[in-house]
Amino acid sequence: MSDRFMEKSFLFLLILSLLLHLGVGTLLYYLPQATPPPQEPVFIDLQQVPDLKAQQQPRQQETPRQSEHRVRVPRETAPRGRDAIDHGQPAPPRPQVQTSPPPREASKTPPRETQIAPGSSAYSLLKPKSQSARQSTAPQLFPSASRLAGLEESYRRKFENEIAEGETRFLNSDDIQFGSFLRRFENAVYGLWRYPQEAAMKGIEGITPVRVTFNRSGEITKVQLLESSGAAVLDDEVLRTLKQIGTVGSFPKGYDKDEFHLIAFFQYGGARRSLR
């Protein structure tokens, strides 16, 4: 077969396919569509609904009678108690027992009192305390701020020449030159200083002022107890703490002297410790 014949055959088949598709489409378009028949409405008469039968409750089984004749039993009642008395109903009478009258001496007996010897320890507890005794046992804030201020003022007057020359400082002073040195010393003290347990349990309190001398390397060379706190256990704890402190750092560069003196107040009060 030649190519020309093949082309004519392909065109013929293509035209024939188009004509068949057009014919089928036209036939489907013009054919009448089948419509479903209309459904007739259904009417329901509610009056014809059958009545539901009432549910019958199960009847209790009757207990078989033991006797053919009825017998009346006396009604049982509980004894009257406090409720009957509260509602105003009379209580049943109690049997009265006649007893002989008590002796006159027993009726005049005064109320019993606890007799304690005046010299005993319990007598001091039961005896009413006077107003002065109550004031003495009242809790006090110690060390007081007024006492601490008085101590600082007295020591400022005593060491005013050394403070003016720059060789002595108070720990709570706002000195810019020795500020860093004083803070290092304070941190070293709080790392070792303790409130003695026996003093805290007994409520022993006080203030221990000391004068501490440092060399240029920052080592403590001398500790002077300026005044006792009144309790040796508190003073010994301060001295023990200062002996265990090592080097706290060198002096500031602007300070050209070989020693530096520091006055600090070790306070014990209320099972707490404070350094000023």
Please give the distance of CA 272 from its chain centroid, rounded to a whole number: 23
Is the pTM higher than 0.85? The answer reads: no
Distance CA 264, CA 182 (A): 10
127 is a domain residue: no
40 is a domain residue: no
Distance CA 231, CA 13 (A): 130
Calculate what percentage of the chain has a pLDDT beyond 70. 62
Distance CA 169, CA 137 (A): 38
118 is a domain residue: no
82 is a domain residue: no
21 is a domain residue: no
pLDDT at 262 over 50: yes
48 is a domain residue: no
Q: What is the pLDDT of residues 85-137, one digit of tens each?
A: 555 555 555 555 555 555 555 455 555 555 555 554 445 444 554 544 444 43
- What is the 3-state secondary structure of the chain? CCHHHHHHHHHHHHHHHHHHHHHHHHHHHHCCCCCCCCCCCCCCCHHHCCCCCCCCCCCCCCCCCCCCCCCCCCCCCCCCCHHHHHCCCCCCCCCCCCCCCCCHHHHCCCCCCCCCCCCCHHHHHHCCCCHHHHHHHCCCCCCCHHHHHHHHHHHHHHCHHHHHHCCEEECCCCCCCCHHHHHHHHHHHHHHCCCCHHHHHHCCCEEEEEEEEEECCCCEEEEEECCCCCCHHHHHHHHHHHHHCCCCCCCCCCCCCCEEEEEEEEEEECCEEEEC
141 is a domain residue: no
Q: What is the pLDDT of residues 18-38, one digit of tens each?
A: 999 888 888 888 877 666 666
Q: How many folded domains does the chain comprise?
A: 1
Beta carbons of 161 and 148 less than 8 angstroms apart: no
More confident: 204 or 157:
204
Neighbouring-strand partners of residue 274: 267
> What pLDDT is stored for residue 146 in this prediction?
77
- Full domain range(s) for residue 187: 165-275
Q: What is the pLDDT of residues 199-230, one digit of tens each?
A: 988 889 988 999 999 999 999 999 999 989 88
261 is a domain residue: yes
CATH value at residue 220: 3.30.1150.10
> What pLDDT is stored for residue 132 in this prediction?
47
